[in-house]
Amino acid sequence: MDTTAKCICFIGPPASGKGTIASNIKEHFGIQIISPGEVFKHVRKQNAELGEIVREALKDGGYAPDSLTNDIVFHAIDELKQVCDAFNEKTIVMLDGFPRNIAQLESLEERYEICAFVHLDAPYEHLLKAAINRRNCVTCKKVFSAVNPPRRKGFTFYEIDRASDEITLLNDPTEAKNKENLAISFPKCNCLRGSVPDEGEQCASIDGEIAWETRWDDTAEFYEKRYDTYISITQPIIDAIRERPTYRRFEILTKPDDVEAVEKWLAAILGEY
């Protein structure tokens, strides 16, 4: 069995849906995701020195240093490969937003095999609107849009028997025999929370207020900086790989067909492995 780690690279401008679509692919194919952006969030919280380096690089819409980014991504791939090798399974991983420049691409190809480049793109106006209206559930971090925020009418109510874990669907929360057993789920969030969770530990409260958060960099002014960085530093990757059979561009306008098109193409690619 070929033990070389295989990578699927998701490349595209900010707010093009790389993380969201990669998450859908993960559910469909069971492939793990490595996101430098998510790792850097953790680094900034856990390591003050490295966190300051990352903050300085990102504050004007730039990228973290190649050496740091490569180390984090390659370490994560190698750790995943060790687990897969232990179970005699192939290592295939999705890279959400990596590589970000030609040097990172070259370093990645020196160590691993890239089996697919998924280029997600959309008109600038669409991307800007998606960015400034992007919100995250404070609990599960699922992304949704403030343009059409979820409300109480979208809730599904349940009563959970704590002894048997039996779940009963309710038409209305007033039907609950014991309000302490009331739980709520939400079509765009999928969290299931009790009626009296700790503060901030629910996707939506009983009165329909949304517990969401906004990314600090999702402003019109900052998005322009991030987009300019992408065009000047990351776009050259597209120019370099455009003619490869493992490259495919998808215009993403957040329709179900968009995700399905990516899944179908990747299914054909992965069938070779």
Residues 232 and 255 in one domain: yes
Q: Are residues 29 and 160 in the same domain?
A: no
Is there a domain that residue 11 lies in? Answer: yes
Q: What angle do CA 175, 181, 187 make, to 5 degrees?
A: 75
What is the CATH classification number for the domain harbouring 35?
3.40.50.300
Number of domains in the chain: 2
Same domain, yes or no: 76 and 185: no
The residue with greater pLDDT, 62 or 237, is 237
Is 204's pLDDT higher than 50?
A: no
Does 201 lie in the same domain as 227?
no
Show the CA angle centred on residue 156, arms to residues 144 and 257, nearest 5°: 45
Interacting residues of 56 by C-beta distance below 8 A, sequence separation 6+: none
Q: In 3-state terms, what secondary structure has residue 204?
A: strand
Name residue 135's beta-bridge partners.
144
The whole-model pTM stands at 0.75
* CA dist., res. 235 & res. 228, Å (int): 10
Return the number of other C-beta atoms located less than 10 Å from residue 53's C-beta.
16
Percent of the chain with pLDDT over 70: 73
How far is Cα 269 from Cα 91, in angstroms, rounded to an integer? Answer: 15
- Please give the C-alpha separations between residue 10 and each of 69, 213, 218, 250, in angstroms, as whole numbers: 16, 25, 20, 11
Predicted confidence at residue 195, as pLDDT, reads 39
* Beta-strand pair 113-121/247-251: parallel
Confidence bin at 185 (pLDDT 50/70/90) = low
pLDDT digits (tens, 9 = 90+) for 107-138: 999 999 999 999 999 999 999 998 888 877 66
- What would the pLDDT profile of 220-240 be if each residue is shown by its tens digit? 899 999 999 999 999 999 999
Is the same domain home to 109 and 158?
Answer: no
Percent of the chain residues topping a pLDDT of 90: 39
In a domain, 185, yes or no: yes
Measuring CA to CA, which residue among 170, 147, 142 is closest to residue 158? 170
Q: List the domain range (segments joined by +) for residue 162.
A: 150-209
> Is the N-terminal amide bond of 99 cis, ω within 30° of 0?
yes
